[in-house]
Structure 1
Amino acid sequence: MMDTLLSLRVFAEVAEHKNFSAVAERLGLSPAMTTKHVKHIEARVGARLLNRNSRNVSLTEAGAQYLQTIRRVLDALSEAEAQLTTDSMSPRGTLKMSMPVWMSNPAFAKLLTTYNQQNPHVTFDIDLSGRKINMVEEGIDLALRVAFKLDEGLIARKLSEVTFQLVAAPAFLDSFGRPTNPANLNDAPLLAYSQVAADGRIRFGGEEGMDIKFRPILVSANESILHQAAIAGMGFAMLPNWAAQNDVKDGRLEPVLPTIAWPKLHIQAIYADRSYLPAKVRSFLDFLAGPDGFSSALE
C-alpha cells in the first residue's frame, strides 16, 4: 500500500523542482518509485497533475490548484513536527524570494546580513529578473513588489513606503535644459518603468495633483537598465530614492524639480494565502516590518 502522505510530499517536491530524478535522489527514492508516488496521487484525485516528457515537467492547471492546497497541509504538519523539537521556533530552510532589481543595493544587502546573523539557519534564493512570476508553480515563498496585480489566492502586506524622484544626468540636463516647472516636462524623453508608466504618464502632487505626459523612449520592467540609461544621459527617469541616492550624492544624477511631490508607493510583501506561514517566512516578514528592517534602511 502506498504511503499517501509521502506521496503528497513527493508530488510537492517534483512540482517545485520540475525534475523526477533530482527529487528521487533528494528523498532517497528510486526514480521508478518517485513516479509511482505521483501516479498514486493523480489516481486518488482523478486528475492529471503534472505534464511530463523526456525533458520537461510542469504543473497542469489542476496541479497548480492542488499544490496550493496541499502546501498548507504539509507546511502545517512540518510546523507541528518542529514544535516537538528543542528548536521548534527557530526559522530554518531556504527562503525563495522574488524582488525588484533596484533592491540589489548595499542597503538591502545589509538587511539580509542582519537577518542572517539573527537567523543563521535560513538561506536565501533570490530572483531579480523582474519578470512576472507564478508563485505557486515556481515555489516562491515571498515576493517584494511596489507595483503588481494581486492574483487570486495571494495576500499583500504593506511593509514600507518608498518615495520616488525624477532624475537625469547633468550632461543631459545641460543639453535639454533644467526644468523650472512641470509644464517643461511635457513630451520630454522618459526612461519608463513598464509596470507604472509605460505610456509616459506620471502623476505629481499627490491624489489631487496633475499628470505629466512624457515621451517614452525606453520602456522596461527591469529598473536596472532604466537606471543605467539615466546615468548615461539618455533621458529622465523616475527612480526610488533608495536606488538613486548614491548617484545623486556623487553627481552622476541630479534631482529634477525636487520640491515637487513625486509618487510614493508601498513596498508590499506578496505570499500565498495560507492559514499557516512557515517560520522562515513569518520571521523575515516581521523583520522587514520591524525597527531593523525597511524603516531603518530607508532612513
Structure 2
Amino acid sequence: MKLPDFEAWSIFACVVEHKSFTGAAQALGRSKATISKAVMRLENQVGAPLFHRTSRRLSLTESGNKLVEHARSILSEGQAAEEAARGEASEPVGLVRLAVPMSFGLKQVGPVIADFLCANRGISVDMHLSDAKVDLIGDGFDIGLRIAALPDSSLRVRKLRDVKTYIVAAPVYLERMGTPRHPAELVKHECLQYSLLTAPDHWRFTNEAGEDVSARPRGRLRANNSDAMLHSLRSGLGIAVVPDFIVSEDLATGAVIEILNDWQPPVVALHLVTPPGTIRPQRVTTLIDYLVAQFGR
C-alpha cells in the first residue's frame, strides 16, 4: 500500500495560506525549490495543476480549489497530533488567524486579544479587521467573529450573544426635523445608511404585535463602517440604525436619543465561526475558548 504524500499536502496548504511559494518557504524554513518540488509532486499524483502561476500572481485552479480543504485538514490534524504528542495541551504555541468586524474589533476584540496574549505567551494572533464578509476558508482564517443573521453554510457556527440594535438620532436633528412616530415616516427624513447590510435600501422593523414594516431610507451619507457615520449622526445630519457597541456611550451621554422604541430592526447576533472539521490545533481551541468566555454572555 502506498501512503499519501502528507508532506506535499501540507506544503500545498501552506502555499495557499501564504499566497506564494516564497512566503511558504520562509514560514517553513525550507528553500523555495523544495516547496516548488513538493507542489509539483502533488500535482503529478493528482494528475492536475493546482495553481495558475504568473510572474505577478498565484491563484488556485479549479482542482486546487476542490482539494485545498483536504490539504488544510491534513495539515491541521498533523499539527494537532504533534502538539498532543509534545504535551502542548497545557502550553499551546503557534499562530492563529482571526477575522473580526472593524468597529467591533477595535472596541471589543482588541482589548480581549491583549489579555489573551498576556496569558498565552506561546501563541501569536494575526487579527484581520474588516466589515466586509471575508472568505474564512479561502483566505485561510482559523476563526471568525461575525455580527449578522447568518444563513446556513458549511462553516461551523456558534452563537455567542444577541446584539441589540437601536434607531437613533441627535437631539439637534429631532428639534429641527421632528421625531418620527412610525417607521413609515422615515421616508420624510434624512437617514445615514450602513452599506453592508443585506438590503441597505430597505430598513425592516417589527413590533410586539407582530407587524412587519419596511422603509426606504434616503440621505446624503452611506458608509461601509458604522463608526464612520458617528460624527454625522452627532452633528444632526440624520437618523441611523446602529448596534449597541457602536452607540452605547452616545446613548448614555445623551449625544443621541433612541426613537421608534416600539419598533425593532431585524435581530442580529454575534457568532463565532470556524472552518468545517472537528480536529484543531490546541492554539486555535485555546483562543476559541477564551473568546467564548469573554463574549458568550
Give the TM-score, by structure 1 length: 0.86
Q: Which moved more, 1:54-63 or 1:265-274?
A: 54-63
Query: Is it true that 1:136 corresponds to 2:123 in the alignment?
Result: no
Post-superposition Cα deviations, 1:128-180, rounded to whole Å, max 9, x if no partner, equal 22223222221111221122665753222111111100112232222221234
1:107 offset after TM fit, Å? Answer: 3.5
1:56 offset after TM fit, Å? Answer: 1.1
* 1:19 alignment counterpart: 20
Counterpart secondary structure, 2:95: strand
Post-superposition Cα deviations, 1:230-278, rounded to whole Å, max 9, x if no partner, equal 2343321111112111122233322223454444311112211112123
Distance 1:133 1:148, change over 3 A: farther
1:294 offset after TM fit, Å? Answer: 4.2
Query: Is it true that 1:238 corresponds to 2:241 in the alignment?
Result: yes
Amino acid at match of 1:208: G
* 2:267 alignment counterpart: 264
Amino acid at match of 1:209: E
Q: Which moved more, 1:160-169 or 1:83-92?
A: 83-92
Which of 268, 285, 294 is matched with 1:282 structurally? 285
Distance 1:173 1:242, change over 3 A: same
- Tell me if the contact between 2:187 and 2:218 (Cα under 8 Å) persists in the aligned partners: no
- Tell me if the contact between 2:159 and 2:270 (Cα under 8 Å) persists in the aligned partners: yes
* 1:112 alignment counterpart: 113
1:37 offset after TM fit, Å? Answer: 1.0
Query: Is it true that 1:175 corresponds to 2:172 in the alignment?
Result: no
Amino acid at match of 2:283: K
Post-superposition Cα deviations, 1:38-97, rounded to whole Å, max 9, x if no partner, equal 111111111221112111112223212211112112211111111122323433322212
* 1:29 alignment counterpart: 30
Structure 2 unmatched runs, 5+ = none
Counterpart secondary structure, 1:146: strand
Q: Which moved more, 1:5-14 or 1:278-287?
A: 278-287
* 2:252 alignment counterpart: 249
Distance 1:179 1:101, change over 3 A: same
* 1:57 alignment counterpart: 58
Amino acid at match of 1:169: A
Amino acid at match of 2:227: S
Separation of aligned partners in 1, 2:101 and 2:62:
27
- Tell me if the contact between 2:97 and 2:142 (Cα under 8 Å) persists in the aligned partners: yes
Separation of aligned partners in 2, 1:195 and 1:90:
40
- Tell me if the contact between 1:181 and 1:257 (Cα under 8 Å) persists in the aligned partners: yes
Separation of aligned partners in 1, 2:264 and 2:153:
33
Amino acid at match of 2:201: D
Q: 1:174-193 counterparts in 2 under 5 A?
A: 174-193=175-194
Separation of aligned partners in 2, 1:150 and 1:277:
24
Distance 1:33 1:85, change over 3 A: closer
Separation of aligned partners in 2, 1:281 and 1:184:
48
- Tell me if the contact between 1:166 and 1:237 (Cα under 8 Å) persists in the aligned partners: yes
Query: Is it true that 1:159 corresponds to 2:143 in the alignment?
Result: no
Query: Is it true that 1:199 corresponds to 2:181 in the alignment?
Result: no
- Tell me if the contact between 2:161 and 2:271 (Cα under 8 Å) persists in the aligned partners: yes
| Superposed CA RMSD | 2.6
Distance 1:35 1:275, change over 3 A: same
Separation of aligned partners in 2, 1:140 and 1:189:
39
Amino acid at match of 2:279: Y
Identity, in percent, stands at: 27
Counterpart secondary structure, 1:252: coil
Q: Which moved more, 1:236-245 or 1:262-271?
A: 262-271
Which of 286, 292, 295 is matched with 1:293 structurally? 295
* 2:227 alignment counterpart: 224
Structure 1 unmatched runs, 5+ = none
Separation of aligned partners in 1, 2:84 and 2:13:
22
Amino acid at match of 1:195: L
- Tell me if the contact between 1:67 and 1:136 (Cα under 8 Å) persists in the aligned partners: no
Counterpart secondary structure, 1:70: helix
Amino acid at match of 2:127: I
Q: Which moved more, 1:129-138 or 1:37-46?
A: 129-138
1:287 offset after TM fit, Å? Answer: 2.6
